[in-house]
Amino acid sequence: MAIQVTFWGVRGSIPTPGPDTVRVGGNTSCVEMRAGKAILIFDAGTGIRLLGQKLMREMPVKAHVFFSHVHWDHIQGFPFFVPAFVKGNRFELFGGNSTTRSLAEALAGQMDHPNFPVDIGDMGSTMTFSDLQEGQVVEIDSGTDLGPVRVLNTRGNHPNGVWIYRVDFAGKSVVYATDTEHYAVVDPKICALAKDVDALVYDAMYTPEEYIGKAPGAGPSKVGWGHSTFDEGAKLAVAANAKHLYLFHHDPQQTDDDVAKKEARAQELFPACTAACEGMTFEV
């Protein structure tokens, strides 16, 4: 085992607690990766609150947090991430500069009065912020003799922009590709980033019918909304020669049964496919 991945939030757009989402989970996007002794966190949706409870048993905490983008469902858990309030913990946070704000400004903005009672400056941990450039490589000390963890990126297709990440360590790899919309052809940037990857975590928010607005009760067409489908995820996995595909960022209207049906349909196209569920852990 080189990289361990745990899903703490797999839902898109808005949290969805309730009896119909118990198996899959209702928290929004947050994925933890362990590579050697390094802790990497991808996105800070409401799932990061649960991750924070776990990390409180491992203090002092040093972690690297990578944001795909700063839409609310990917940052709304950050004010409830308890380790960030504890002096002595250290977090390095990475993301892209949006059209108007840096990562630091976006995170601080959601905690500004009257939105939240505690200012980001009151969080006691040491936090450093870095705005990424496309193609930039971040190297992280793994704390082992297996060499550094390398985090690569490229841009996806989403309103206001999104970052797609690849983690490489000790000959193993994971791609985190959420909130990106497919094109008429397989996205060449993501395909190149995901080449021969061991695990591809991909935005499969919609079924093909939901995407074009033809599913009963699904509402209008979602074309241009910045999200993808399980069949496009399968196409990408085949083109990139990915070993396993994980369907991620499930639509808030999809029940546990809906996600199970989506998974089954995806497995007909790419058998090594799993629908991500909250609390699920896998290793590569």
CATH 3.60.15.10 correct for 3-283: yes
Using a pLDDT cut of 90, give the percent of the chain over it.
Answer: 92
| 50-97 pLDDT, tens digit each | 999 999 999 999 999 999 999 999 999 999 999 999 999 999 999 986
How big is the chain, counted in residues? Answer: 284
- Phi/psi region, residue 237 (left: phi>0; alpha: psi -120 to 50; beta: rest), is alpha
Domain ranges of the chain: 3-283
Q: What is the pLDDT of residue 101?
A: 75
Predicted confidence at residue 219, as pLDDT, reads 86
- Mean pLDDT of all residues in the chain? 96
- pLDDT, position 97: 66
Question: Can you give the pLDDT at residue 171?
Answer: 97
Strand 30-35 to 3-9 pairing:
antiparallel
Does residue 99 have a pLDDT over 60?
A: no
Burial class (CB in 10 A: 0-12, 13-18, 19+), 139: exposed
- pTM given for the model: 0.97
Is the pLDDT at 100 greater than 70? The verdict is no
DSSP 229: B
Average pLDDT of the residues in 16-33: 97
Give per-residue pLDDT as tens, 102-111. Answer: 889 989 999 9
26-32 mean pLDDT: 98
Q: What is the pLDDT of residues 200-255, one digit of tens each?
A: 999 999 999 999 999 888 789 999 999 999 999 999 999 999 999 999 999 999 99
DSSP classification of residue 63: E
Treating both helix axes as pointing N-terminal to C-terminal, what angle do 256-269 and 230-240 enclose, rounded to 10 degrees?
40
